[in-house]
Structure formats: structure tokens, C-alpha cells
Amino acid sequence: MKRGHQQGDTHHYKADRELLVSLKADTDLIESVTQIARDAGIQAGILTAIGALKSARLGYYDQKSNEYQEIVVDSPHEMASCLGNISLKNGQPFAHVHVVLADEAGNTKAGHLLEGVVFVAEVHLRRLLGPRLERQHDQRTGLSLWQK
């Protein structure tokens, strides 16, 4: 297996405007962030969030089958970490978010956030200015990845 430092495609961006948003309870975090990005004209950006979710659906991407395995979290959990990015998919803002969720005992579950029902969530969005950042289907992985 070939290893080492190999640079992939580099995209250069400049931080523009930042938004701090408190999400409404019982909304979906992904849908809310996507709508905020759409309304704010964010086509490339980064995000972080803190708070808690009532429930969630996480994804773990199986690299052999090229399919997401779903992890259902059907109880309240704290967002110990939540970060992601905004780019375009099919010409529309797309939020790609990963999260680490902790239960009352501190046990964690983590993965790609497919859906998260908000208890409380404070989101920090940073709009980036630069070249168009579009996701397209990648034949090798089966994922929608950034393209030049």
C-alpha cells in the first residue's frame, strides 16, 4: 500500500462573513443548516455546532460495500463535537456534517450525521469566498466528492 504525503486538489478560499444561529427545538439540524446556507447565499463554508440532540441517525461508510451503515440514536445525547462543511451538490447548498454524541454516562457514538432532532443547538457558520465547490459522484468510492 502506497503511503506518504500526497497532495490532492487544493482549493483556496477567503473567510467572508460569519453567522451564529440558535436552531429551533424539534427541527432537523441538517435541514436547518442547509436552509440557512441557502438563505445566506453560502456556497462554500465551514460549520461547527454545540448543544444536544433528542435523537439522531448516523452513518458509517463501509468502504468495502460503498454503502452507509445506519446507526440509530433514539435517546437524548450531548453533541461533544460537531463539525462540517458546506458545498454545492446538484447546484444547491449541501451540509456535510460529522458528530460525536455522548450519553449521560459519557459513552459516545460518532459518524456522519444523516439526521438530528434538535433539543438545543448553537451553530457557527463561516461563509468562504473562492472557486465554485461542487460535489459530484466519484466512481471509485461511490460518494459525492468535491470536484475541481
What digits encode the pLDDT tens for the residues 46-94? 999 999 999 999 999 999 999 999 999 999 999 999 999 999 999 999 9
pLDDT at 130: 94
Tally of domains in the chain? 1
112 lies in some domain: yes
Residue 8's contacts (CB-CB under 8 Å, 6 or more residues apart) are none
pLDDT at 147: 83
Query: Which pTM does this prediction carry?
Result: 0.90
146 lies in some domain: no
Rounding to the nearest 10 degrees, give the CA dihedral for residues 22, 26, 29, 35. -80
pLDDT at 9: 73
Cell 435523537 maps to which residue?
55
124 lies in some domain: yes
pLDDT at 10: 83
Q: DSSP character for 28?
A: B
6 lies in some domain: no
Note down the domain range covering 118.
15-130
**Which conformational region is residue 60 in: left (phi greater than 0), alpha (psi within -120 to 50 degrees), or beta?**
beta
Question: Which domain CATH number covers 98?
Answer: 3.30.1330.80
Cα gap 27→110, rounded to integer Å:
20
Compute the residue count for the chain. 148
pLDDT for residue 111 is more than 90: yes
pLDDT single digits (tens) 5-58: 456 678 799 999 999 999 999 999 999 999 999 999 999 999 999 999 999 999
Q: In terms of pLDDT, which residue wins out, 148 or 65?
A: 65
